[in-house]
Amino acid sequence: MPQLNQFFALMVSVAAATASAQAVRTERNMSLELANQIAAASVAACTANGYNVTATVVDRAGSVRAVQRADNAGPHTLGASLQKAFTSASAKNTTLAMMEGAQKNPAGANLVHIPGFLLLGGGVPIKVGNEVIGAVGIGGAPGGHLDEQCAMVALDKVKDSLK
């Protein structure tokens, strides 16, 4: 019987060790330098096409890491870029895809009632592999699909840093 008690004690300690190991997670996060690079590259990509935009980069929790606003970007672009970035980071999807999904699925239309969500193109997740570490949101181009194109150009420029 003492051997059985020792066995159970060993099993409980192994289970506790496994449970505590799962309680702590390791996450990848972007540096301020990378966030600024993405914001600057986003604004530059849109400026090259004649669009005055604001780019906001958020971390995985939707907190702002970097913002850049082009000369002559409208005041509304600041809030729009933040909401697009927040929406994309939160849902781990592009806001253009979410908008299109909500238009096709009546139940998805309720997403607009989530505080801070903006279902317009221009929000793109920032990924390392399949892990979303944040998002970039752009507002100000004459169409959300154009905002998204600028974001994709910016993310392509920093792709080596996202490995």
Structure tokens at 152: 């994709």
**Residue 44 belongs to what domain range?**
32-162
Contact 30, 134 (CB under 8 A): yes
Tokens of 74: 């409208």
CATH number at residue 87: 3.30.450.150
Tell me how many domains the chain contains: 1
In a domain, 100, yes or no: yes
**Alpha-carbon distances, residue 38 vs 46, 53, 57, 138 (angstroms):** 12, 14, 7, 11
| CB contact set of 131 (below 8 Å; sequence gap of 6+) | 27, 28
- Tell me how far apart the alpha carbons of residues 154 and 125 are, in angstroms, rounded to a whole number: 12
19 domain-assigned: no
For the record, the structure tokens of 15 come out as 């289970």
Whole-number pLDDT of residue 14: 55
pLDDT band for position 19 (50/70/90)?
low
CA distance 47 to 25: 39
Q: Is residue 23, in this structure, part of any structural domain at all? A: no
Is residue 36 included in any domain, yes or no?
A: yes
Q: What percent of the chain has pLDDT over 70?
A: 87
pLDDT surpassing 60 at residue 2: no
pTM comes to 0.85
**Is residue 149, in this structure, part of any structural domain at all?**
yes
What's the whole-number average pLDDT of the chain?
Answer: 91
